[in-house]
A and B are shown apart, each in its own frame.
Chain A
């Protein structure tokens, strides 16, 4: 009968069915649990609990909403759920460091989080509502939260001009520019200058093969026979512009052979006036006189020398030109003379101005440099064969290209190397797969990559061609910050529209002024309409400030206005004609419309002048910063010749609002009354140094 009951189910199947059904139901019941215990829900509860235990509960929970909070800015491509857990970012009472994260308030910044989101600055994954996914590198998100030390890097994505709120970024940009990284890499916001390293076509005229060999080993002259740096300590020395490449002796011998073998136009030795040579040749104090002249011309404004002070060797002088302590061992005497005579003939794009030398000065300074600024031991450890071998030359040629020397140095007849290194203009947005980690043991992430690569290129890639740099304390971080700010155009269109471009005005001087301007390289130190150096005063408004006769006189004999400064305007020996052209141009063109020179001023009375003197000396104590004659402070310029120097209208405007004329001046902005201003001006225009303005100089008005 059982065989006929074809519906009979065995007990075993029943049992299996029962068990599987029970497990099935349990599993179905368990399935939603994961959602119930999401991380963000935990933080929501924790915040609620924390707020509940504080006196300002009501305020903290005013915007509390038990679900997921997000900031959504479609135009910026921002979908940030960070605020789901970081619930206190806008609560001023939660700024205290004892408040546990993620509830602490955000420091006050110019950008509101609700309008910008969080990930625009901090990176990380805004979509995420889990701690790990939001902050770390995961399969779905490569760019983790930016460490706070690099946070200024994201400022630079939009702010292409330096902003005071991001000093590390500005420093990093400056270091990158100083180190000529642009030679090999494309960089965002940095233009390739006309000249990076010197043209090496005629280096044979300038120096010896031994010196090249030595220089390639360590591009510093301030090393002793053992190669040790004896100045200021290694770390404190600024990294020289020429980095240290990893070259072995064979490679150095080859490169030096190649460079010294270049066919070049031999320079004709300069023929000194025979009377000068005769008069000075035998003088025992020739070299001392040369040194005096060297100092008087303020070469140290641009060049530094090692000086022993208090038992310690220090570098004294500017860093615009190369350091010169041992330059006598480097250059050949004939080359030095022709260089001083006309640097632009050797290096047309160089920064060295063309002085108007007298034969006498040239002879003295040349002798001083060749005799005093030398080190006979410098090249004694260089042992290379006298004659450059053909195979050395050949491999030197190859090395020159392999090492990317042509990226910074020009050699006539050789193709300039462009983009030798990788393009870094979007380095900060690079994905990990674009980075070559090689076999390096480090987290696969952009930030550790940049840190190690810049600190020690070989640590990442043993075959790296990038030279080794030595950074001052903190500079490595600044450089990484600046590199992270280079995101190219890969940022979202919304952000791209917000980019505040770095306006770098090009100032082109033309005509006669242009020739003199180029000859004396005025722009190396002075700034003209935003273009040029910052060592010396900005001359964009010089015409509004200074009177033309004074400018003419100053150019011919630059007496300093601030006698305590090491860096001073050198003595160029400007000719009368050039001084006239320069002064004329500066006075008539370089003006600001804030100062109206044509406005009529009533004559000042002597009462006003004495009232002004009273204000100057008693009421406002101006002498604590300014000197008149020999009395007073050294912070501000010497006003002894203010009457000849400054335009009346400028003084008036300056007293009204100095920062409006020179934004970063330290002159205090005081609220003078109109009478006080007039009185002070009246007093200042009376300050004239007699005899400084010669009658022979034509005044600007006469033209």
Chain B
């Protein structure tokens, strides 16, 4: 990190950061050409052809599904008759599931707004551009902060009896913390987890959470938003 900072003052020479390819060559060294051209291919026909293939495959799948799977149409809208349960579109069912646990202001406003802000803000936090594993440095203080924050979250979920969220969060946090205790170079799966960065853990938690809530909201909620088993 400190090495990179030196160069950042001037004109970027790191192409991963600055797309403007102006290369400054110092007097004492000659240009290093690393055969970048070899890695390049023409978009036409390579990309174009692959895109056409992608489009064809997509169309094939869509047309076949459209032939055999009819879009549902229920009865005429009737403002006097609420179906039980009244469900939002599936991609909002995670949110609706949250509304079941938390007060509307939290689940309906705070959490979605925080998610959007979080997503927008991701690239502007220059904390860990290199994707450094979570437990690579300052291990013990990081563990303390990590566990503290996780516990606060777990308490919050516990207070609202959001057990599905509680359990998922606890498992993911446990997996993250497991990397702290596992020495490097063990089995490949554990090594994989150990080498994950904090942003990776956060995003993974978010995705798994969203999937689980959406699945619960879609399949496991019946009349009165009560728990039902979809196979019954």
Contact = CB atoms under 8 A, between A and B. Distances in A.
A–B direct contact (CB < 8 Å): yes
Given A17-B52, A20-B53, A140-B75, A433 B83 contact: yes
B142 interface: no
Given A27-B59, A142-B75, A17 B49 contact: yes
Given A6-B41, A20-B56, A433-B84, A27 B75 contact: no
A433 B52 CA distance: 48
A13 interface: yes
A27 B44 contact: no
Interface string A414-440: 000000000000000001011000000
A9 B46 CA distance: 7
Contacts of A140: 73-75
A7 B45 CA distance: 6
B55 to A, nearest CB: 9
B40 interface: yes
Interface in B32-66: 38, 40-42, 44-46, 49-50, 52-53, 56-57, 59-60, 63-64, 66
User: How many B residues touch the partner, as a band?
Assistant: 20 to 34
B14 to A, nearest CB: 25
Interface residues of A, number: 23
A13 B72 CA distance: 38
A17 B53 contact: yes
A270 interface: no
A140 B70 CA distance: 12
Contacts of A20: 53, 56-57, 60
A434 B81 contact: yes
Interface string B64-87: 101100001111001001011000
A24 B55 CA distance: 9
Given A7-B42, A7-B44, A13 B63 contact: no
A34 B67 CA distance: 7
A148 interface: no
Contacts of B81: 431, 433-434
Interface in A590-623: none
A279 interface: no
A374 B150 CA distance: 85
A666 interface: no
A141 B72 CA distance: 12
A38 B12 CA distance: 65
Contacts of A431: 75, 78, 81
A31 interface: yes
Q: Kindly name the residue among B44, B60, B78 whose own CB sees the greatest number of chain A CB atoms within 10 A.
A: B60
Nearest to B84: A433
B73 A24 contact: no
A560 interface: no
A1 interface: no
Q: Per DSSP, are chain A's interface residues mostly helix, strand or loop, or mixed?
A: helix
A18 to B, nearest CB: 10
B103 to A, nearest CB: 29
Contacts of B57: 20
Q: Per DSSP, are chain B's interface residues mostly helix, strand or loop, or mixed?
A: helix
A278 interface: no
A101 interface: no
A140 B78 CA distance: 13
A126 to B, nearest CB: 13
Contact of A16 (B53, B74, B84): B53
Contact of A139 (B40, B42, B63, B74): B74
Nearest to B83: A433
B53 A139 contact: no
A24 B46 contact: no
Q: Kindly name the residue among B46, B72, B75 whose own CB sees the greatest number of chain A CB atoms within 10 A.
A: B75
A30 interface: yes
Interface in B1-55: 38, 40-42, 44-46, 49-50, 52-53
B75 A28 contact: no
A6 B63 contact: no
Contact of A6 (B40, B78, B83): B40
B67 A31 contact: yes
A140 B41 CA distance: 53
Nearest to B49: A17
A141 B41 contact: no
B56 A21 contact: yes
Nearest to A7: B42
B75 A24 contact: no
A68 interface: no
B83 A9 contact: no
A434 B52 CA distance: 52
Nearest to B41: A6
A9 B63 CA distance: 28
B140 to A, nearest CB: 51
B73 A139 contact: yes
Interface in B91-132: none
Given A20-B53, A431-B75, A30 B41 contact: no
Contact of B64 (A7, A27, A142): A27
Contacts of B84: 433
A27 B63 contact: yes
B86 to A, nearest CB: 11
A3 interface: yes
Contacts of A139: 72-75
A140 B74 CA distance: 4
A23 interface: yes
Nearest to A26: B60
A431 B166 CA distance: 40
A455 B72 CA distance: 35
Given A7-B44, A141-B75, 4 more contacts: A3-B38, A7-B46, A27-B63, A27-B64
14 contacts: A3-B38, A6-B40, A6-B41, A7-B45, A9-B46, A9-B49, A17-B53, A20-B57, A21-B56, A23-B60, A24-B56, A27-B64, A30-B67, A31-B67
Interface of A: 3, 6-7, 9, 13, 16-17, 20-21, 23-24, 27-28, 30-31, 34, 139-142, 431, 433-434
Leading 10 A-B pairs by shortest Cβ distance: A24-B56, A6-B42, A20-B56, A6-B41, A140-B73, A7-B42, A27-B63, A27-B60, A20-B53, A31-B63
